Amino acid sequence: MLPADQIVAAAHDLRFTLDQILREDLQCFGIVSLANCHDVIVHLHRDIDRLYALHQKLVHPAKHVAYAAFWIRKIKPVASAFYLSDIDDAKKGGRLVDEGREVADINERIALFYLWRLIETYVAERQIALPAGLSTEKYIKNISSVFQDFVADRSLGPALNNRFQAVLYDMRYRTFGPHHLVHIAAYLLREAANYGGN
């Protein structure tokens, strides 16, 4: 387990990163709880320590990423969030934002976006091996493209409009563990290795 001061620092970093994802990637304003970010870090490191003890060797970074996303989804550090466009519309109209416009599945969304961003960081820091013939920059670009395709997917999914919506639904309303998120991380890495013929 990390020392207490490192846990606090990691919780602050997580809150900053989640706030950045809210604003830049999700185009939302939300309240990110530092206390819940602290809990995410504590539970994440307990799980990672347990994985290292169990496997007695290195644990693939995809598992680190998946467990981080799992605990974000589970603990839900974003108390509430609204799209920036809804806030701007309310300001222009001189009224409060309609509470019915709250993004109810914001923690599931931010968990997936965090997973994507963390994978890119691990690749940039060479903690995930590059596929043969791909530069770091190209692999990161491909990961981003695969994730954006996943988010924008319009194929028919189980009872929903696309795979992304189906995953959000499952994360929110069904049993959804870290191993499910490992599969998503592995999917991004695998598809990015072959994206657009490299």
Instruction: Give the CA dihedral 73, 167, 170, 179, nearest 10 degrees.
Output: -60
How far, CA to CA in Å, does 27 sit from each of 68, 81, 87, 135?
22, 10, 11, 30
Instruction: Give the CA dihedral 142, 148, 151, 154, nearest 10 degrees.
Output: -90
Query: Model-level pTM?
Result: 0.91
Count of CB atoms within 10 A of residue 51's CB? 16
Structural domain range at position 88: 4-197
Residue type, 155: S
pLDDT at 160: 56
Spatial separation of the C-alpha atoms in residues 193 and 68, rounded to whole Å: 23
Spatial separation of the C-alpha atoms in residues 140 and 189, rounded to whole Å: 9
Tens place of pLDDT per residue across the chain (198 aa): 788 999 999 999 999 999 999 999 999 999 999 999 999 999 999 999 998 888 777 888 899 999 999 999 999 999 999 999 999 999 999 999 999 999 999 999 999 999 999 999 999 999 999 999 999 999 999 999 999 988 886 554 455 567 788 888 899 998 889 999 999 999 999 999 998 755
**Count of helices and strands (H, E) across the chain:** 8, 2
Long-range interactions of 190-196: CB distance < 8 A, separation 24+:
191/142, 191/146, 192/131, 192/139, 192/142, 192/143, 192/145, 192/146, 193/131, 193/134, 193/139, 193/142, 195/142, 195/145, 195/146, 196/142, 196/145
Give the chain's domain count: 1
SS3 59: coil
- CA angle in degrees (0–180, nearest 5) for 141-129-139: 10
